Amino acid sequence: MTTLLEVSGISVSFDGFRAINNLSFTIGPAELRAIIGPNGAGKTTFMDIITGKTRPDRGTVRWGPMADSLLSKSEAEIARAGIGRKFQRPTVFEDQTVAENLMMALKANRNPFAVLFWRPKPADHARVAALATEVGLADHLARKSGELSHGQKQWLEIGMLLAQEPKLLLVDEPAAGMTLAEREHTTRLLVDLARTRAVVVVEHDMDFVRRLNCKVTVLHEGSVLAEGSLDHVTKNPAVIDVYLGR
């Protein structure tokens, strides 16, 4: 099986606290994976390392068919290489309209000079409209995104991620603050997306993970505790001990 991302043997400490401890992780080009683990297990730090926000003390992160190292790249370069990230708290640019937010995220040359002379073509407007329809914001294109509800902001951020056309999507607690119907919609969307690209979902909610019906990686104290189907890992006594058995 080909791998899209290979993280091997990474460790990182903050002021002596070892947040990630010799963690290894691989994911294929079209795979859905859920990462679960108690608070402080290192889920967010793990995402920070992949996206270049944090540099590990040890280990390698390799990306794509050429196995390029991501460690020497900046956040922006990693994003351009095709790794998109959705944050737990919806972060959209509240002072700008939904259309402007999406237009900014559209896959295009990110060089300042190119952006300066870039003007949207009809195809770009059509793409933005299509994305807005996909995330249910078609009627809100002209609104400032700060006026949207919490759930709508979540959707807008997902739309912006889709606009980037990433090869790997890192999604941090997508279902937080969503209604039941919205959760179902999110599940369908994530499963759909994973047909064409890799998707990593960090989630607390076991029901949501069960619905995703995918391979699960359990993190604990900065390393992988167990990996496999949800039923498999929930039977693991170590997992029951640290995570489920409370």
Which residues of the shown chain bind other proteins in the complex (CB under 8 A)?
51, 53, 74-77, 79-80, 84-85, 87, 91, 93-96, 100, 103-105, 110-113, 115-116, 118-120, 122, 125, 139, 142-143, 147, 160, 164
Q: Using CA atoms, how far apart are residues 35 and 202, in angstroms rounded to an integer? A: 5
Q: How far is the CB of 139 from other proteins (least distance, A)?
A: 8
Tokens representing residue 239 in the block: 């997992």
- Judged on CB neighbours under 10 Å (0-12, 13-18, 19+), 35 is buried
Q: Which is nearer to other proteins, 87 or 223 (CB)?
A: 87
Q: Which is nearer to other proteins, 30 or 79 (CB)?
A: 79
Q: What are phi and psi of 97, to 5 degrees?
A: -75, 165
Q: Which is nearer to other proteins, 9 or 146 (CB)?
A: 146
Q: Which is nearer to other proteins, 141 or 190 (CB)?
A: 141
Q: How far is the CB of 88 from other proteins (least distance, A)?
A: 13
Q: How far is the CB of 50 from other proteins (least distance, A)?
A: 11
Q: How far is the CB of 199 from other proteins (least distance, A)?
A: 16
Q: Which is nearer to other proteins, 70 or 226 (CB)?
A: 70
Q: Provide the H-helix boundaries in 166-220.
A: 180-193, 206-212
Q: How far is the CB of 131 from other proteins (least distance, A)?
A: 14
Type of residue found at 232 = H
Q: Which is nearer to other proteins, 104 or 189 (CB)?
A: 104
Q: How far is the CB of 60 from other proteins (least distance, A)?
A: 22
Q: What separation in angstroms does the CA of 140 have from each of 17, 95, 228?
A: 45, 14, 41
Residue pair 142/97 in contact by the 8 Å Cβ criterion: yes
Q: How far is the CB of 192 from other proteins (least distance, A)?
A: 22
Residue among 55, 44, 84, 18 at smallest CA distance from 204: 44
Q: Which is nearer to other proteins, 7 or 83 (CB)?
A: 83
DSSP string covering 95-161: TSBHHHHHHHHSSS---HHHHHH----HHHHHHHHHHHHHTT-GGGTTSBGGGS-HHHHHHHHHHHH
